[in-house]
């Protein structure tokens, strides 16, 4: 275990930032859309995935899934094939027809070999068979996300900063830096696009679900904390756009 970097409190004279309506569950890394009509299964999946530190928005039928994708960008999707209103396979085909390349993990029944083949051919990235192990679902989602951002290892590095996405830890010069899940989510999004501006809405989407009440400057608060905890962070504000890691 690397040594813990001493963390200084807010220095005198530092800008005072306030959070309006502080969110209480806006504290995750990736934004996942869960599409599952079974209440018990969906409940377990949502809670389990959230425990790994990601935002989960849950819809229960195919039409709602399409509306969700039209409304918002997601990092990952977990899609049950047997859905009311519109079958999962139709949702998947529609997604790919629209050019949406979000990684999709399919949930299928044990006897659904044909369904799995059809779904993979239609653009699904992976599948798990019910009943499944939640740890396996989360590991597969992490692997899909790494594949999407072109990182084959669970560790992301940028200059002297390292994020281990499996242990959700951040080290700077090999010293552990304590960060909150939201700070980790923001830092990860910035590292994934290092050198390019990351729009403000993209960073907000990585930390917040729809049902969060968000203060107008919540992102700035987290950025402020990150800059304070990681003084070597070469983070530039791109006026009117967002932030860029140089
Ligand atoms: Ca179902």
Domain boundary among 95, 116, 148: 148
Domain end, chosen from 102, 124, 148, is at: 148
Q: Could you tell me if 143 and 165 lie in one domain? A: no
Question: Residue 27 Cα, ligand 1 centroid: separation in angstroms?
Answer: 28
Q: Does residue 185 sit within a domain?
A: yes
Distance 127 CA to ligand 1 centre (A): 14
In the predicted model, is pLDDT for residue 16 greater than 50?
no
- Whole-number Å distance, alpha carbon 118 to ligand 1 midpoint, is 17
Asked if the structure places residue 6 within a domain, the reply is no
Number of H helices, E strands in the chain: 8, 12
For residue 103, the CA-to-ligand 1 centroid distance in Å is 20
Residue 43 falls inside a structural domain: yes
Please give the C-alpha separations between residue 224 and each of 14, 64, 116, 158, 183, in angstroms, as whole numbers. Answer: 10, 36, 46, 19, 10
Residues 136, 165 within the same domain: no
CB atoms within 10 A of CB 57: 18
CATH classification of the domain holding 140: 3.40.50.2300
Average pLDDT over residues 89-106: 92
CA of 108 to the centre of ligand 1 (A): 9
| Total domains in the fold of the chain | 2
Cα–Cα dist 208/54, whole Å: 9
51 Cα to the center of ligand 1, angstroms: 23
Chosen domain end from 148, 172, 191:
148
Average pLDDT, whole number, for the chain? 82
Is the pLDDT at 124 greater than 90? The verdict is yes
98 and 190 in a single domain? The answer is no
Measured between alpha carbons, how far is 39 from 196 in angstroms, rounded to an integer? 40
The pLDDT assigned to 213 comes to 60
Gap from CA of 36 to ligand 1 centroid (Å)? 6
pLDDT higher than 70, residue 97: yes
Same domain for 103 and 38: yes
Residue 168, domain member (yes or no): yes
- In which band, very low, low, confident or very high, does the pLDDT at 227 lie, cut at 50, 70 and 90? very high
Distance (angstroms) between ligand 1 centre and the Cα of 110 equals 13
Same domain membership, residue 160 and residue 233: yes
Q: How confident is the model at residue 7 (pLDDT cuts 50, 70, 90)?
A: very low
Query: pTM of the prediction?
Result: 0.60
Same domain, 110 and 207: no
Say yes or no: 84 and 178 in one domain: no
Query: Is position 26 within any domain?
Result: no
* Residues 233 and 132 both lie in one domain: no
Q: What is the domain extent for residue 161?
A: 153-245
pLDDT confidence of 146, banded at 50, 70, 90?
confident
**Between 15 and 205, the higher pLDDT residue:** 205
Ligand 1 ion: Cβ-proximal residues, 5 Å cutoff: 37, 80, 82
Q: How far is the CA of 84 from the centre of ligand 1 (A)?
A: 8
Query: The domain spanning residue 171 has which CATH number?
Result: 1.10.10.10
Q: Are residues 141 and 180 in the same domain?
A: no
CA distances from 4 to 36, 176, 228 (A): 41, 5, 15
Tell me the CA–centroid distance for residue 88 and ligand 1, in Å.
Answer: 9
pLDDT digit string, tens, across residues 158-212 = 889 998 877 778 999 988 999 988 888 899 889 888 888 998 888 887 777 655 6
Residue 32 pLDDT grade (very low, low, confident, very high; cuts 50, 70, 90): very high
Same domain as 136, residue 41: yes
- pLDDT score of 34: 97
Residues 121 and 96 sit within 8 Å (Cβ to Cβ): no
More confident residue, 26 or 244: 244
Note whether residue 14 is domain-resident: no
185 Cα to the center of ligand 1, angstroms = 30
Q: Is 131 in the same domain as 159?
A: no
Residue-level pLDDT at 12 = 40
Q: Is residue 7 part of a domain?
A: no
Angstrom distance (rounded) from CA 83 to CA 107: 11
**Are residues 144 and 217 part of one domain?**
no
């Amino acid at each position: 275990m690397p040594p813990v970097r001493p963390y200084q409190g807010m220095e005198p004279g530092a800008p005072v930032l306030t959070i309006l309506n502080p969110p209480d569950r806006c504290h995750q890394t990736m934004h996942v859309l869960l599409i599952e009509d079974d209440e018990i299964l969906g409940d377990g999946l949502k809670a389990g995935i959230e425990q790994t530190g990601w935002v989960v928005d849950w819809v229960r039928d195919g039409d709602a899934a399409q509306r969700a994708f039209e409304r918002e960008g997601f990092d990952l999707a977990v899609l049950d094939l047997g859905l009311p209103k519109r079958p999962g396979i139709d949702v998947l085909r529609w997604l790919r027809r629209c050019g949406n390349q979000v990684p999709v993990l399919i949930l299928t029944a044990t006897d659904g070999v044909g369904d799995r083949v059809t779904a993979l051919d239609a653009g699904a990235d992976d599948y798990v068979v019910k009943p499944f192990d939640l740890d396996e679902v989360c590991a597969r989602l992490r692997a899909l996300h790494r594949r999407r951002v072109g990182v084959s290892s669970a560790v992301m590095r940028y200059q002297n900063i390292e994020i281990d996405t499996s242990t959700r830890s951040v080290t700077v010069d090999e010293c552990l830096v304590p960060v909150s899940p939201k700070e980790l989510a923001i830092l990860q999004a910035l590292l994934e696009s290092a050198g390019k501006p990351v729009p403000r809405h993209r960073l907000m989407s990585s930390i917040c679900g729809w049902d969060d009440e968000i203060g107008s400057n919540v992102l700035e608060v987290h950025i402020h904390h990150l800059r304070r905890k990681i003084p070597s962070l070469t983070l530039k504000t791109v006026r009117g756009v967002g932030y860029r890691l140089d």
